[in-house]
Amino acid sequence: MKNGQIIVSPDYEQVCPFSVETKSEHIYYVYLEYQRAPSNTTVDRSLKSNASGQQGDISFIVTENSKVELDVPIGVYKLYYCVGTTWYGTKDKFGEETGYYSSNELLDFYADSQYYRGHSLELWKQSEGNFEDHTISEDSFPDTEETSSETSSQNSMQDRMNAFKEKARQGSSFSSGRTAGSGQTSGKYLTTDELPDNPGDMNQLAADWLAYPAYDSDFHAVEPEITIRKGEKTKLSLFRSEKYNGASYSYVWYGGGDVSLDWAGNGVGWAGHSHVGYITATEVCTIFMSAKDSDGITAHMVIHVK
Long-range contacts of 128-134 (CB under 8 A, 24+ apart): 131/103, 132/103, 132/104, 132/105, 133/79, 133/81, 133/101, 133/102, 133/103, 133/104, 134/101, 134/102, 134/104
> What's residue 272's pLDDT?
42
pLDDT band with cut points at 50, 70 and 90 for residue 16: very high
CA-to-CA distance for 297 and 214, rounded, in angstroms? 9
In this predicted structure, the answer to whether residue 183 has a pLDDT above a threshold of 50 is no
Structural domains in the chain, CATH included, are 6-140 (no CATH), 156-305 (2.60.40)
In this predicted structure, the answer to whether residue 84 has a pLDDT above a threshold of 80 is yes
Cα distances (angstroms) measured from residue 112 to each of 13, 74, 117, 120, 228: 16, 11, 7, 18, 26
CA-to-CA distance for 174 and 197, rounded, in angstroms? 5
> What's residue 273's pLDDT?
43
In this predicted structure, the answer to whether residue 91 has a pLDDT above a threshold of 90 is no
User: What percentage of the chain reaches a pLDDT higher than 70?
Assistant: 62
Q: What is the pLDDT of residues 231-264, one digit of tens each?
A: 988 877 655 544 444 556 667 788 777 887 765 5
Q: What is the pLDDT of residues 216-236, one digit of tens each?
A: 444 455 667 888 999 988 877
State whether residue 203 is helix, strand or coil. helix
Is pTM beyond 0.85? Reply is no
- The answer for 165, left when phi > 0, alpha when psi is -120 to 50, beta otherwise, is alpha
Q: Stretch 69-96: mean pLDDT, rounded?
A: 92
> What's residue 251's pLDDT?
74
Count the neighbouring beta carbons within 10 Å of the beta carbon of residue 157. 17
pLDDT band with cut points at 50, 70 and 90 for residue 189: very low
Contact 13, 73 (CB under 8 A): yes
Longest dimension (CA), the chain: 60
Cα distances (angstroms) measured from residue 58 to each of 53, 62, 197, 204, 275: 14, 13, 25, 12, 35
Q: What is the pLDDT of residues 261-305, one digit of tens each?
A: 765 533 343 334 445 667 888 888 888 877 665 555 566 778 888
Q: How, if at all, do strands 116-117 and 107-111 pair? A: antiparallel
pLDDT averaged over the chain? Answer: 74
